[in-house]
Amino acid sequence: MKIKKLETFTKPFVSFVKVTLEDGSTGIGQMSTYHADITAQIFHKQVCPWILGKNYEDFEDIENLILEKEHKFPGSYLLRAIAGLDTALWDLKGKLKKLPVVSLIGGNPGFLKIYGSSMKRDIQPYDEAKRFKTLQDEKGVSAFKFRIGSECGRGKDEWEGRTEEIVRLINKELDISTSKLVDANSCYSSEQAIEIGKLLIDNNITHFEEPCPYWDPEETKKVTEALEIDVTGGEQDCDFRIWKDMIDRKIVNIFQPDVMYMGGLTRILKLANMISKSGFTCTPHAANLSLVTVCTMHFLKAIPNAGKYLEYSIEGEDYYPWQKNLFSKHPFNIIEGNVEISDDPGWGVEINKNWLETSDYNISE
């Protein structure tokens, strides 16, 4: 069955893709968030021309064809666009077979434990602890990640003393049974990160994410080798050559690819297999409540080397106003610290019709 047309529905932060086959069958996917209006242009100019009229069934082959034809453009934007195609094709396949995507890739619907992921650095430590405790009491969430340092901060804190204060306060305020994770977002040198890591260990933090600039893996490797704590990373990376090097040289303990940055489910499944064969854990990055978290839920429930938790952003409209009303029905209800993957076909979600009607529309056919 051949691909007949590809439609996009775009706003600055999000672009959804609708794929239609010759027989009228359809699937819905999403390109990676942020500057999605730019990504949508790339989609119609550098993705669609190579796949219209192609058989849809071998996802890896048609996606490799795009990468071969666009070999002068091996970077992130092209893969962010391909993610829209790939996730739409998986949704289509699930609907044709009347199965959720998780079942197509070897898993089962059901519950998945989350960690509440804070995106804020401007929040006071006490206020961060307070909202964690509220989520723990009301939703049963038993793991949380918070931010330390400053994003790509060249060694500087968001404000002086914030990291030390929030690390100690979160440990004090949350029960010892609560898993505690931090993300430095490429802030520190290896020397700084090792000293911070000792503070983390003393305060029952178990996960130290992206301690050093991700583009300097030698620095991260020093931290991994120096500390008895899970040093994690990989969310920014999308090139298999880089991933092979990271795995072979054990740059981190836990690998964190992003399904959308990687170019979709097909490529991240291939990567998860590489990570698994080397004996490492895969805990994907999923930093907002768009389709990226839905896709990550299905992915995480199916792979053998999945981490303990799904990353679940706890930010609302004040931080992510563009998340509002993406779906006709909210797919992320938390029950006793878990989200549920339904047995509905495909991704099991429906995009809000009003959102689609008020978006910028384009079609290639």
Query: How confident is the prediction along the chain (365 residues), in pLDDT tens digits per residue?
Result: 999 999 999 999 999 999 999 999 999 999 999 999 999 999 999 999 999 999 999 999 999 999 999 999 999 999 999 999 999 999 999 999 999 999 999 999 999 999 999 999 999 999 999 999 999 999 999 999 999 999 999 999 999 999 999 999 999 999 999 999 999 999 999 999 999 999 999 999 999 999 999 999 999 999 999 999 999 999 999 999 999 999 999 999 999 999 999 999 999 999 999 999 999 999 999 999 999 999 999 999 999 999 999 999 999 999 999 999 999 998 999 999 999 999 999 999 999 999 999 999 999 99
**Which residue matches tokens 């044709």?**
96
The 10s digit of each residue's pLDDT in 148-173 is 999 999 999 999 999 999 999 999 99
pTM to 2 decimals? 0.97
Which is nearest to 120 in space by CA: 324, 313, 333? Answer: 313
Domains of the chain, earliest start first: 3-98+352-364 (3.30.390.10), 103-341 (3.20.20.120)
Angle at 65 between CA 97 and CA 15, to 5 degrees: 65
Query: What is the structure's pLDDT at 250?
Result: 98
The 10s digit of each residue's pLDDT in 298-312 is 999 999 999 999 999
Query: What is the structure's pLDDT at 34?
Result: 96
Which is nearest to 238 in space by CA: 268, 282, 273, 277? Answer: 268
- Report d(CA 319, CA 316) in Å as an integer: 6
β-pairing, 26-30 vs 110-117, is unpaired
**Which residue matches tokens 């994690």?**
232
Helix (H) or strand (E) holding 79: helix 76-97
- Report d(CA 87, CA 166) in Å as an integer: 38
Give the HSE-up count for residue 187: Cα atoms under 13 Å, Cβ half-sphere: 24
Query: Helical H runs in 187-284?
Result: 190-202, 217-226, 240-248, 265-277
